[in-house]
Amino acid sequence: MSYNSSFRRSGYPSVTATARVADNLALYGHRPTADEPEYRPIPEPEQLTGAVASLFNSITGLFADTALEPDIDDMLWSLVNTLHHKVDRVQRMLDDNEAQQRSSIEEQDGSEVRSVELERLTDKGRALMDRRNAFEHMRDAAAELYESETGSVWRPRSGSMVNRKAQTAAMIDSRDYLNAKRHAETNVLIPAGTKIAITGGLQFQDHKAVYAALDAALARHPDLVLLHGAAKTGVDHLAITWARNKGVKAIGFEPEWNKHNRAAPFKRNDRMLEATPTEVIVFPGNGITDNLADKAKQQGIRLVDCRASSKPGQSGREG
């Protein structure tokens, strides 16, 4: 029995094609294509955070106390990494949309067709921005859960981790930093503020000393931007944790081993100093730590030397 005939037998007039489309939309919902704007709402931040927490709980609850427990770290890291790559993909779509909008603006000739096209691209861009911000929120929530579960700070293996909606404690790869240096006032990768560098050994664990030195630096420079060596342990790890807790922006300068081999840590020191820090905070380390301190002193950069006052036996190799 057809749709119209069923309505006729019920005493209703014949249904128009427009009514059928409206009823189908109400029954089955509208799913926009890739070329159409998205008007459905984005989940609330609390919902996104809850969804991420559920994923983490599912993995840890299933793997804990089983032969799969050693794999929890890798699985949780991969979950954060998946969200991080999703942010990158949506950002690339947003960049393409921006280029299309610029092209459409140049092609405006006063016609309704061109005007409607620009409006469509603008609506699509707003929707993409909302999607990007949502995935960034999920990525950041997952990174915090990863740290609480494993005790390690999550960082991408390459590139930068930036939250464009909430610019706090952004971890920036030094190559992104230097490449974007000329756009300091407009580029999200370049945080404005007083740059303070910190260095020390990979085995240094006196978190109270590191936190105290950084707290003092923050008191001197409320707009502090932290430069660190991007190591996963020791002074760098403690500094990253401090920056995250304080909501301070941080830039990581990781040694480029493939490019410089054994000289990579020393080249990294040069890159940190090229960022023109106002101060360099030095904790016990080895020759690489001393190299950064000596070069900073030669360049007239203020040195906050914590090597003599730190606890003995806390220093270690620097990488």
118 with 101: CB under 8 angstroms? yes
CA distance 34 to 10: 40
CA distance 316 to 55: 37
Its pTM stands at 0.52
CA distance 177 to 191: 9
Confidence of residue 284 (pLDDT cuts 50, 70, 90): very high
Q: Is the pLDDT of residue 313 over 90?
A: no
Tokens of 142: 């997952």
Confidence of residue 4 (pLDDT cuts 50, 70, 90): very low
pLDDT at residue 283, rounded to an integer: 95
> Tokens 């020791």 correspond to what residue?
234
| Interval 77-125: pLDDT, tens | 999 999 999 998 998 888 888 888 888 877 877 778 877 888 888 888 8
pLDDT at residue 164, rounded to an integer: 59
Q: Is the pLDDT of residue 179 over 60?
A: no
pLDDT at residue 303, rounded to an integer: 93
Confidence of residue 183 (pLDDT cuts 50, 70, 90): very low
CA 68 from centroid of its chain's CA atoms: 29
pLDDT at residue 11, rounded to an integer: 47
> Tokens 């005939």 correspond to what residue?
5
Q: Is the pLDDT of residue 227 over 80?
A: yes
Q: In the chain, what is the straight-line distance between the N-terminal and C-terminal CA atoms, in Å?
A: 76
Length of the chain counted residue by residue: 319
Nearest residue to 121 (alpha-carbon basis) of 109, 107, 135, 137: 107
Long-range pairs of 293-297 with CB within 8 A, sequence gap ≥ 24:
293/199, 295/269, 295/270, 296/197
pLDDT at residue 128, rounded to an integer: 86
DSSP designation for 279: E
Nearest residue to 61 (alpha-carbon basis) of 78, 75, 47, 77: 75
pLDDT at residue 3, rounded to an integer: 44
Q: Is the pLDDT of residue 50 over 60?
A: yes
Q: Is 63 helix (H, G, I), strand (E, B) or coil?
A: helix
Report the mean per-residue pLDDT for the chain: 80
Higher pLDDT, 108 or 1: 108
pLDDT at residue 158, rounded to an integer: 66
Strands 279-282 and 249-252: unpaired
| Interval 14-49: pLDDT, tens | 556 677 666 656 665 555 555 665 667 889 999 999
